[in-house]
């Protein structure tokens, strides 16, 4: 949950104009850090290229990205739901396997999406921050924990 408010990505904006690079050798790249919470806020406040490039990681097409960016807020909500279901899942094998599979599927889907999406170009480079990976690893841990509970329950019955 805390990771949702930490930077998930940093966007490095580079000077792309050849003349700007040539005559302004001291032109610095700008780095913008964006947390999971910031993604919808920034996407709906302004049409910034940094946010659009980060939203592209989570949403396939950029059309209506401002509205679709709110889906990012389901990340902590879903994590809370899965964490709350973990305790009851210890007694219910069906719930345990459902929560376990959900955690692993969320981890795999997000990881694959990031790995196959080209999130940089000549004007900017997007770096996924450790806080985002920690969020995904938490989903994986919840999934493995619940699958382990399911397997343990199956063996003991």
In three-state secondary structure terms, 98 is: helix
pTM tops 0.85: no
DSSP 92: -
**Rounded to the nearest 5°, which phi and psi values hold at 41?**
-60, -50
CA-angle at 151, arms to 150 and 152, nearest 5°: 90
- What is the residue extent of each domain of the chain? 2-156
User: In tens digits, what is the pLDDT along the chain, a chain of 157 residues?
Assistant: 688 888 888 877 766 555 455 555 555 666 778 888 888 887 776 556 556 666 666 556 666 666 777 888 888 889 889 989 988 887 888 899 999 999 999 999 989 988 887 766 656 777 888 999 999 999 999 999 999 988 887 787 6
Q: What are the helix (H) ranges across 59-92? A: 65-68, 74-89
User: 39: how many CB neighbours lie within 10 A of its CB?
Assistant: 25
């Amino acid at each position: 949950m805390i990771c949702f408010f930490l930077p998930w990505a940093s966007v490095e904006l580079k000077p792309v104009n050849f003349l700007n690079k040539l005559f302004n050798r001291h032109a610095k790249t700008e780095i913008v850090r964006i947390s999971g919470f910031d993604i919808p806020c920034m996407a709906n406040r302004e049409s910034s290229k940094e946010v659009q490039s980060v939203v592209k990681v989570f949403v396939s097409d950029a059309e209506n990205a401002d509205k679709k960016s709110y889906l990012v807020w389901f990340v902590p909500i879903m994590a809370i739901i899965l964490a709350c279901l973990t305790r009851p899942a210890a007694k219910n094998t069906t719930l345990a396997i459902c929560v376990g599979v959900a955690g692993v599927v969320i981890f795999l889907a997000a990881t694959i999406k990031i790995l196959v999406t080209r999130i940089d170009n000549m004007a900017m480079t997007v770096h996924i921050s450790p806080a985002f990976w920690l969020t995904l690893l938490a989903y994986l841990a919840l999934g493995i924990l619940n699958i382990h509970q399911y397997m343990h329950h199956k063996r003991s019955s």
